[in-house]
């Protein structure tokens, strides 16, 4: 059997990508899961697939096959040599699947003895009985499956799943998950901490508690998973007490917290001396994160204005110093990087479902002298983003999917950001957060 259509093969490929990533259901991925998948594919294959393309393919929104380069990247990611190699292997597997054959009995060479009427009647009755038993078994098994399906549906709707933090603020932070899956039909069950499938823990019936540690602050959505289906999500906010700083390399599983006072000389920032005091290897390729997650930021991500004055100090010689402003919503993120003009090909920006690559788009407006003070303004009105740098409009784009309430603000760099001012206004112009780092901050 070698009649698999190319579109069927695409769906098989998506299933294998999803399985490799540990995603329960690729039809219901979050924004961060899509972003993480794009990063993982690029890291392993060296091929960048845009966020919008990944979302379109995994959402099944393609009438024609995706481009061959995209299919090559997906199949390389799951261990094949490319799309053609994947197709050949899958079609070979299909052709080797044995078909159900009906074998005719070999006629005996002996002279057949005439069948008596009583034997023929017995044969007919026995055959009828077997048919009736078969029908009865079919309906019995169908009834069981229907009951299991109803049981699954009811349990999924009413399943008990909640989360409680052990510490009100800060990281690391242990969270106690309470659940009850005793009446749930399924072979395997998990709790996934957030969008990251590597942070998934198996759970079992007749046990009602599972704990896990959150090492990074932020707004997370923990998932209760049965087999490959997400049954329920609960929100887990790990807030910070003011600004915190941490660093990590690409290979680090956990962040390294920088336990120093971040505000000094009227700015927010970590110094090279602070890194030495925290035993950080200054020769490693690292990213440095400054994060603020208050308990409440009453600002809708579809209507706000954020202003900041930022520059970056390099830790080690680098050809492409980069810094970025992050705005973290309940459902997705806004990420606006800046680098020197000669390096704009290396940066990408995203906001909600939109992803713009410096490889395939002109992001020259995001280039600037990041080693000196940059005035950055992000203005959003009715899901239209306008980005200003040094009071000059450098980007304007529309997005469709709401990111929810703003839950956090951050700065990221391959060096050390210095932040002179941050302010956040809501849709009415009301100042929700304002900090010049030379006095107590207003707002949260």
Tell me whether residue 435 is in a domain. yes
**121-158: pLDDT as tens digits:** 544 454 455 555 554 444 444 444 444 444 445 445 67
Domain membership flag for residue 208: yes
The residue-averaged pLDDT of 283-290 equals 93
Could you tell me the strand order of the sheet in which 160-165 lies?
A: 160-165, 173-180, 209-214
pLDDT, one tens digit per residue, over 274-285 is 999 999 998 899
Report if residue 193 sits inside a domain. Answer: yes
Residue 172, preceding peptide bond in cis (omega within 30° of 0): yes
Segments forming the whole domain that contains residue 195: 158-238
Give yes or no: residues 233 and 248 share one domain. Answer: no
Number of domains comprising the chain: 3
Tell whether 432 and 303 lie within a shared domain. yes
Same domain, 52 and 75: yes
What one-character-per-residue DSSP string does 346-403 give?
Answer: G-EEEETTEEEETTTS--GGGB--TTS-EEEEEEEETTEEEEEETTEEEEEEE--S--
Tell me which of 53 and 366 has the higher pLDDT. 366
Considering the domain architecture, whether residues 182 and 269 belong to the same structural domain is answered as: no
Residue 375 lies in a domain: yes
- Domain's final residue, options 54, 78, 96: 96
Rounded distance between C-alpha atoms, residue 406 and residue 165, angstroms: 21
Quick one: 312 and 410 in the same domain? yes
One domain for residues 234 and 252: no
Domain membership of residue 232 (yes or no) is yes
Task: Tell me, yes or no, whether 348 and 262 share the same domain.
Answer: yes
Residues 363 and 399 in one domain: yes
Same domain, 174 and 65: no
Residue 10 resides in a domain: yes
Report the predicted TM-score, pTM, of the whole model to 2 decimal places.
0.68
Q: Domain containing 233 — which CATH number? A: 2.60.40.1870
Q: What are the tens digits of pLDDT across the range 55-112?
A: 888 887 777 888 888 999 999 999 998 898 898 888 777 766 444 333 334 443 444 4
312: pLDDT strictly greater than 60? yes
**123 in any annotated domain:** no
Last residue of a domain, one of 96, 115, 137: 96
In a domain, 140, yes or no: no
CATH number at residue 323: 2.60.120.200
Same domain, yes or no: 248 and 230: no
| 421 vs 265: CA distance, rounded Å | 13
């Amino acid at each position: 059997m070698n009649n698999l259509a190319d579109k069927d093969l695409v769906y098989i490929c998506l299933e294998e990508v999803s399985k490799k990533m540990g995603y329960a259901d690729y039809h219901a991925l979050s924004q961060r899961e899509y972003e993480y998948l794009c990063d993982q594919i690029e890291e392993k294959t060296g091929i960048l697939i845009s966020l919008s393309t990944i979302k379109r393919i995994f959402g099944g929104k393609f009438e024609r096959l995706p481009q061959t380069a995209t299919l090559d990247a997906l199949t390389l990611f799951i261990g094949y040599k490319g799309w053609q190699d994947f197709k050949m292997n899958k079609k070979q597997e299909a052709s080797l699947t044995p078909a159900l054959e009906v074998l005719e009995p070999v006629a005996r060479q002996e002279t057949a003895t005439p069948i008596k009427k009583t034997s023929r009647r017995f044969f007919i009755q026995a055959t009828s009985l077997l048919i009736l038993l078969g029908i009865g078994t079919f309906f019995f098994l169908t009834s069981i499956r229907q009951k299991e399906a109803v049981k699954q549906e009811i349990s999924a709707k009413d399943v008990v799943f909640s989360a409680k933090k052990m510490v009100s603020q800060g990281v690391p932070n242990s969270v106690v998950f309470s659940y009850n899956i005793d009446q749930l039909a399924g072979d395997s069950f998990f709790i996934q901490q957030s969008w990251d499938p590597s942070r998934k823990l198996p759970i079992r019936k007749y046990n009602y508690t599972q704990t896990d540690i959150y090492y990074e602050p932020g707004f997370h959505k923990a998932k209760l998973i049965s087999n490959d289906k997400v049954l329920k999500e609960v929100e887990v906010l790990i807030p910070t007490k003011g600004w915190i700083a941490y660093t990590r390399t690409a290979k680090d599983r956990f962040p390294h917290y920088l336990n120093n006072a971040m505000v000094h000389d009227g700015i927010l920032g970590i110094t090279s001396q602070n890194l030495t005091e925290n035993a950080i290897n200054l020769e490693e390729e690292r990213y440095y994160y400054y994060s603020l997650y208050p308990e409440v930021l009453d600002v809708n991500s579809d209507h706000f204005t954020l202003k900041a004055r930022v520059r970056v100090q390099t830790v080690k010689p680098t050809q492409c110093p980069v810094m970025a402003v992050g705005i973290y919503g309940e459902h997705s993120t806004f990420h606006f990087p800046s680098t020197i003009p000669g390096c704009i090909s290396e940066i990408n920006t995203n906001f909600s479902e939109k992803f713009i690559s410096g490889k395939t788009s002109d992001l020259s407006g995001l280039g600037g002298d990041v080693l000196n003070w940059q005035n950055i303004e992000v203005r959003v009105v009715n899901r239209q983003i306008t980005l200003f740098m040094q009071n000059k409009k450098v980007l304007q784009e529309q997005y469709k999917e709401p990111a929810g309430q703003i839950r956090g603000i951050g700065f990221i760099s391959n060096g050390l950001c210095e932040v002179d001012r941050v302010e956040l206004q809501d849709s009415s112009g009301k100042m929700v957060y304002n900090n010049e780092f030379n006095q107590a901050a207003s707002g949260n």
